[in-house]
Amino acid sequence: MTPGKHRLAPVDDAFFARARVAATVVTEFSVPRETVWRALVADDSVQAWSRVATRARWHGSLREVGAVRDVTLAGAVTLTEEFYRWDDGHRLTFGVPSVNLPLFSRFGEDFVLDGTPAGSRLTWTVATDPRGPRFVDPVLRAILATSLRDLSRGLVRVVRDSGDGVQSGHE
């Protein structure tokens, strides 16, 4: 582990149901899931659709289970993402094994992309066990849900601007 990095507990599928703080957003696209998938796994993916991601760097060209990416938010928080699920065109799941600031003890994201008669649907879940007292969890949950909706809108813009056309709805 790099100096200045804080180790986080591992994430598995059960974590998404039991995390202290979690949010899910569902976005409908009027394009095939392959189009959305390309936007999710592009080299500049996070930076392209996030207003707070200032850097995203894949470790090598590996785009499968075991892929690792560092994402820096607001120039201050750097998360290392390690993908433990990579089902091409359908699902990505990662846990964060380390972060440069001691903000949480566990963090993960799950992306499920399904085809629909009108195009595709992305169900995106972010889950975390934040460090600190539980009484702040409702506030953190609201912030996380708002952030996730904003990220989803950014992804919609990227897909739309790619020339593939898109419309979205959020749950």
Residue in 136, 137, 129 with CA at minimum distance from that of residue 19: 129
Mean pLDDT of the region 87-116: 97
Give the CATH H-level superfamily of domain 6-164: START domain (3.30.530.20)
Residue in 95, 48, 89, 107 with CA at minimum distance from that of residue 69: 95
Amino acid at 1: M
Domain spans, the chain: 6-164
Listed in sequence order, the residues at least 6 apart from 78 whose beta carbon sits closer than 8 Å to its beta carbon are: 55, 70, 71, 72, 99, 100
Residue in 35, 85, 78 with CA at minimum distance from that of residue 63: 85
Sign of the Cα torsion 46, 136, 106, 142 reads negative
| Count of helices and strands (H, E) across the chain | 4, 8
- Record the pTM: 0.90
Distance of CA 18 to the CA centre of its chain: 18
pLDDT of residue 8 exceeding 50: yes
Q: pLDDT tens across 39-89, in order?
A: 999 888 888 999 889 999 999 888 999 999 999 999 999 999 999 999 999
Q: What rounded mean pLDDT belongs to the chain?
A: 91
Distance between CA atoms of residues 158 and 36, nearest Å: 9
Residue in 15, 5, 43, 46 with CA at minimum distance from that of residue 108: 15
